[in-house]
């Protein structure tokens, strides 16, 4: 099954996006409004780019052209673009983005790139405001006001962490240093310290929970630097006989033993063996803190293909989609979208005996006027042992997204990208008509045929992927709505449907409907399965009942069939029928 992952950087071509946007008018970041006159003149001069090539990163340049481009780049980045790279986004831009930005050839492309850079990080892409960008500049200003130490505050380690991750959830500050009672995990005992601070974050995306970051001012000049060595704040560390740990005071260890290697010189203590085992964790955490923060990028390149129906450069990435409708309230309908992707269409990378693939999925629901009603984005992955990969290529993976929508007509656009092969894209677009379930009209949800159906524990009811009410359903999805889903004779035919607005007798306060299940052989048009059920057995006092059945297929011969569910409500004198075709192999 596809499984959700913590968002990771996607292999996306920012330069290519910048080119595709360069032809349109872009709103430049306020930091770049005062562009040098020469730079503006250059950007307005006729382009010498080959009109047959859209992406300058893929354009073949001669040595002379490459030398000229590098020379012009050094000159142009002396202005506001250099400030944007060196200061404004210094701590948050990725290496890939930086390389792409430096490869651009003119200011128009750079402006488009900057606009795309902020939009990728915009928590509300449909808003004209960009909260992420505004917060980034606020954090820079705050850092300059509070962390300056002979250099701008944004350049300090505290400024770096604050700009990346914001205000810590709590701070343990010792601005004057002085007497310090070590916790037992640092060896115990009492010593004196340089000024230091410990910032605590309950959670940092991509790093983990309960993150403590220590800063020490060993120069006593206000320049706190980040450290992974908790002994570095000990001002008496190299003073013989001073600031002893608990074991050293008891004669069970010597101060010289602290300097026998390792990341920290904490000394032997009750928890020293445990701390030694965590040194690699501290190194890994330090490396992640130094890297640009993990951002769940909005894949604008994929969205451009999805919404503008651009021609794709690479092979089409096929996938199947099924939409169903389930009543939630009188004016809200749950629309589960089920995506099906074959393993053979995913690019797998193998490492350490495991083959893994990732698929980036984005989707949007728009009204008939083009207004975006809802959007979603997810990166999901699948892993199989490398030796079994060839045997699982025909396996199918499902992704599920349930959207609450009001009744009406909508357009659904879905795009997918093969993360290990960024040119491998697929798009799907279709109009849907979300039904209205009137109070006085007998009606039903979609009839869902499922490869798997099971009840879930009470704590999972109504929550999680593929769960509707108290049932987990894995719908059978086909590549074409006219092609019925196929089941093996060894399987069971699982089907699920809800019935709404059953009549309730005024005296007995109960419903009274007959539910008939039929399976018809389409070759002979004969009914080979017929069963009836009283709605009272499913919930006598309810105007809504859920029908979920599993029928063994072992006795059915290979062929085409149709299942019918017919409801006859004797109180409201209304009838409805739902059907779905399927094949047995």
Residue 220 has what pLDDT? 93
Residue 1 confidence (pLDDT) above 60: no
Residue 18 has what pLDDT? 36
Q: State the pLDDT confidence band at 100, using cuts at 50, 70 and 90.
A: confident
Q: State the pLDDT confidence band at 10, using cuts at 50, 70 and 90.
A: very low
Whole-number Å distance between alpha carbons of 215 and 197: 5
Residue 457 has what pLDDT? 82
Residue 312 has what pLDDT? 54
Token couple for 238: 């190299």
Residue with tokens 């292999």: 11
Whole-number Å distance between alpha carbons of 545 and 535: 7
Mean pLDDT value of segment 507-523: 95
Residue 487 has what pLDDT? 95
Residue 16 has what pLDDT? 36
- Return all residues near 41 (Cβ < 8 A) that are at least 6 apart: none
- Return all residues near 416 (Cβ < 8 A) that are at least 6 apart: 302, 317, 319, 339, 341, 359, 360, 361, 362, 425, 426, 427
Domains of the chain: 9-45+54-121 (no CATH), 168-290 (no CATH), 299-435 (2.60.40.10), 438-585 (2.60.40.3880)
Of 259-263, 292-296, 311-315, 366-370, the one with minimum mean pLDDT is 311-315
**CA dihedral sign, ordered 51, 56, 62, 68:** positive
Residue 274 has what pLDDT? 58
| DSSP per-residue string spanning 517-557 | EEEEETTTTEEEEEEEEETHHHHTT-S-EEEEEEEE-TTSP
Q: State the pLDDT confidence band at 36, using cuts at 50, 70 and 90.
A: very low
Residue with tokens 């001069």: 45
The whole-angstrom distance between residue 377's C-alpha and the CA centroid of its chain comes to 6
pLDDT (tens digit per residue) in 45-64: 444 444 444 455 455 666 66
Contact 245, 188 (CB under 8 A): yes
Residue 107 has what pLDDT? 86
Q: State the pLDDT confidence band at 246, using cuts at 50, 70 and 90.
A: confident
Helix 157-165 to helix 131-146 angle (10° resolution) is 160
pLDDT (tens digit per residue) in 344-402: 999 999 988 999 999 989 888 988 877 878 888 888 889 999 999 999 998 999 999 99
Mean pLDDT value of segment 559-582: 96
Residue 59 has what pLDDT? 55
Residue with tokens 């006593």: 220
DSSP 560: E
Token couple for 506: 């005024």
Whole-number Å distance between alpha carbons of 206 and 291: 11
Residue 434 confidence (pLDDT) above 50: yes
At residue 206, the 3 state secondary structure works out as coil
Residue 35 has what pLDDT? 40
Residue 443 has what pLDDT? 95
Residue 61 has what pLDDT? 60
Residue 298 confidence (pLDDT) above 60: no
Q: What is the dihedral of CA 269, 270, 273, 277, to 10 degrees?
A: -100
Residue 9 confidence (pLDDT) above 60: no
| DSSP per-residue string spanning 254-270 | -GGGGGSSSS----S-T
Residue 136 has what pLDDT? 94
Q: State the pLDDT confidence band at 314, using cuts at 50, 70 and 90.
A: low
**pTM reported for the whole predicted model:** 0.54
Identify the CA nearest to 556 among candidates 533, 532, 524, 578.
524
Mean pLDDT value of segment 512-526: 95
Whole-number Å distance between alpha carbons of 560 and 564: 14
Residue 160 confidence (pLDDT) above 60: yes
pLDDT (tens digit per residue) in 21-33: 433 333 444 344 3
Residue 310 has what pLDDT? 53
Contact 458, 471 (CB under 8 A): no
Residue 373 has what pLDDT? 84
| pLDDT, averaged across the chain | 82
Residue 518 confidence (pLDDT) above 90: yes
Residue 121 confidence (pLDDT) above 80: yes
pLDDT (tens digit per residue) in 203-232: 887 788 889 999 999 999 999 999 988 889
At residue 71, the 3 state secondary structure works out as helix
Residue 68 has what pLDDT? 63
Residue 37 confidence (pLDDT) above 80: no
Residue 282 has what pLDDT? 81
pLDDT (tens digit per residue) in 134-159: 999 999 999 999 999 999 999 999 99
| Share above pLDDT 70 across residues of the chain, in percent, rounded to a whole number | 80
């Amino acid at each position: 099954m596809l499984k959700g992952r913590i968002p990771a950087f996607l292999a996306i071509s920012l330069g290519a996006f910048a080119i595709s946007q360069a032809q349109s008018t872009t709103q430049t970041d306020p930091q770049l409004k005062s562009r040098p006159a020469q730079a503006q003149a250059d950007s307005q001069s006729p382009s010498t780019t080959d009109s047959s090539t859209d992406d300058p990163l893929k354009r073949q340049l001669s040595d002379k052209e490459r030398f000229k481009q590098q020379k012009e780049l050094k000159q142009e980045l002396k202005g506001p673009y250099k400030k944007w790279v060196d200061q404004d986004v210094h701590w948050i831009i990725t290496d890939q983005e930086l390389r792409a930005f430096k490869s651009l050839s003119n200011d128009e492309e750079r402006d488009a790139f900057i606009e795309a850079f902020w939009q990728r990080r915009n928590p509300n892409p449909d808003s004209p405001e960009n909260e992420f960008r505004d917060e980034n500049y606020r954090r820079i200003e705050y850092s300059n006001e509070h962390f300056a130490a002979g250099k701008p505050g944004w350049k300090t380690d505290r400024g770096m962490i604050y700009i990346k991750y914001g205000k810590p959830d709590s701070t343990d500050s010792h601005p004057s240093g002085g007497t310090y009672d070590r916790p037992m995990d640092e060896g115990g005992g009492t010593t004196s310290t340089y000024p230091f601070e410990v910032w605590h974050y309950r959670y940092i995306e991509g790093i983990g929970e309960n993150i403590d970051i220590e800063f020490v001012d060993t120069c006593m000049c206000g320049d706190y630097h980040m450290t992974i060595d908790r002994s570095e704040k000990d001002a008496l560390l190299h003073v013989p006989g001073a600031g002893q740990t608990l074991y050293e005071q008891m004669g069970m260890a010597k101060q010289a033993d602290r300097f026998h290697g390792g990341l920290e010189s904490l000394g032997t203590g009750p928890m020293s063996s445990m701390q030694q085992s965590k040194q690699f964790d501290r190194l890994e955490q330090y490396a992640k803190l130094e890297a640009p923060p993990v951002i769940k990028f909005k894949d604008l390149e994929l969205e451009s293909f999805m919404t503008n129906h651009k021609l794709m450069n690479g092979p089409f990435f096929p996938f199947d989609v099924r939409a169903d409708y389930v009543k939630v309230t009188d004016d809200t309908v749950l629309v589960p979208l089920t995506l099906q992707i074959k393993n053979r269409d995913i690019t797998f990378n193998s490492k350490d005996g495991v083959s893994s693939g990732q698929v980036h999925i984005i989707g949007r629901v728009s009204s008939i006027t083009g207004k975006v009603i809802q959007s979603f984005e997810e990166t999901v992955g699948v892993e199989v042992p490398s030796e079994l990969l060839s045997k699982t290529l025909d396996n199918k993976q499902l992704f599920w997204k349930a959207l609450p929508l009001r009744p009406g007509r909508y357009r659904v656009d879905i795009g997918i990208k093969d993360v290990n092969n960024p040119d491998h894209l697929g798009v799907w677009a279709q109009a849907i008509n979300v039904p209205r379930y009137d109070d006085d009209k007998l009606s039903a949800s979609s009839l869902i045929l499922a490869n798997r159906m099971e009840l879930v524990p009470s704590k999972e009811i109504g929550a999680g992927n593929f769960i509707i009410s108290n049932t987990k359903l894995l719908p059978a999805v086909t590549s074409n709505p006219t092609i019925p889903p196929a089941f093996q004779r060894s399987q069971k035919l699982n089907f699920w449907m809800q019935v709404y607005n059953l009549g309730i007798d005024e005296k007995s306060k109960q419903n009274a409907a007959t539910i008939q299940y039929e399976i018809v052989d389409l070759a002979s048009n004969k009914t080979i399965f017929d069963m009836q059920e009283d709605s009272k057995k499913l919930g006598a006092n309810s105007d809504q009942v859920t029908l979920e059945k599993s029928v063994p297929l072992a006795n059915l011969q290979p062929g085409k069939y149709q299942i019918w569910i017919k409801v006859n409500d004797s109180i409201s004198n209304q009838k409805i029928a739902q059907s779905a075709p399927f094949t047995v192999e």
